[in-house]
């Protein structure tokens, strides 16, 4: 195949645009780190223990071995890593795999799409991936913070 043929295939969208994947990687690292920091800081605001939450998340890939009476550094690290992997993966799907369509979105369009995308991916994770496939943990308690937690919890002095 000549360079001209490859260029033609690329222009028609048959070849992957690697700049979409690079952007997906960078945005995945940024968004997963931001999400982790927000989860850590928000836990106390809604009466949660962040270390216990990370241990609970670690129990998804690590099973019962991660559950202890007191969260260990290993379980916290596994929980944070698994959380970041999930967020990073969704960024790769949105900006990498679907980059052919999402690369042209304006900031305003992205702002409109972000809430439905978050709801869709969260529902997919907690209704299918965690309890059914591939982790098959139907007894895993869903202790994920939601918007209603923030509205219903008041901070008391």
Spatial neighbors of 145 by CB under 8 A, at least 6 apart, are: 39, 42, 43, 46, 48
Token representation of residue 60:
């998804």
φ, ψ at 43 (rounded to 5°)? -55, -50
The C-alpha atoms of residue 34 and residue 75 are separated, in whole angstroms, by 20
Q: How far is CA 17 from CA 30, 60, 93, in A?
A: 21, 34, 14
- Helix, coil or strand: residue 70: coil
Q: How many CB atoms lie within 10 A of CB 41?
A: 10
What local confidence, expressed as pLDDT, does residue 108 receive? 93
DSSP letter string over 95-110?
A: IIITHHHHTT--HHHH
pTM (two decimals): 0.72
Per-residue pLDDT of the chain (157 residues; tens, 9 = 90+): 555 555 554 555 544 578 888 888 998 999 899 988 998 888 888 888 889 888 888 888 888 888 888 999 999 999 999 989 988 999 999 988 888 888 888 889 989 998 898 888 888 887 777 766 766 665 555 555 555 444 454 444 4
pLDDT of amino acid 88:
92
């Amino acid at each position: 195949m000549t360079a001209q043929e490859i260029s033609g295939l690329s222009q028609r969208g048959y070849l992957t645009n690697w700049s979409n994947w690079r952007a997906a990687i960078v945005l995945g690292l940024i968004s997963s780190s931001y999400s982790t920091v927000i989860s850590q800081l928000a836990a106390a605001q809604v009466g949660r223990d962040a270390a216990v939450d990370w241990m609970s998340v670690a129990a998804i890939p690590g099973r019962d071995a991660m559950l202890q009476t007191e969260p260990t550094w290993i379980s916290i690290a596994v929980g944070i890593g698994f959380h970041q992997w999930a967020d990073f993966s969704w960024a790769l799907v949105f900006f990498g795999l679907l980059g052919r369509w999402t690369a042209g979105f304006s900031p305003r369009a992205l702002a409109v799409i972000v809430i439905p995308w978050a709801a869709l991916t969260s529902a997919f994770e907690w209704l299918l991936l965690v309890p059914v496939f591939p982790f098959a943990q139907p007894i895993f308690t869903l202790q994920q913070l939601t918007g209603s937690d923030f509205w219903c919890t008041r901070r008391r002095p």
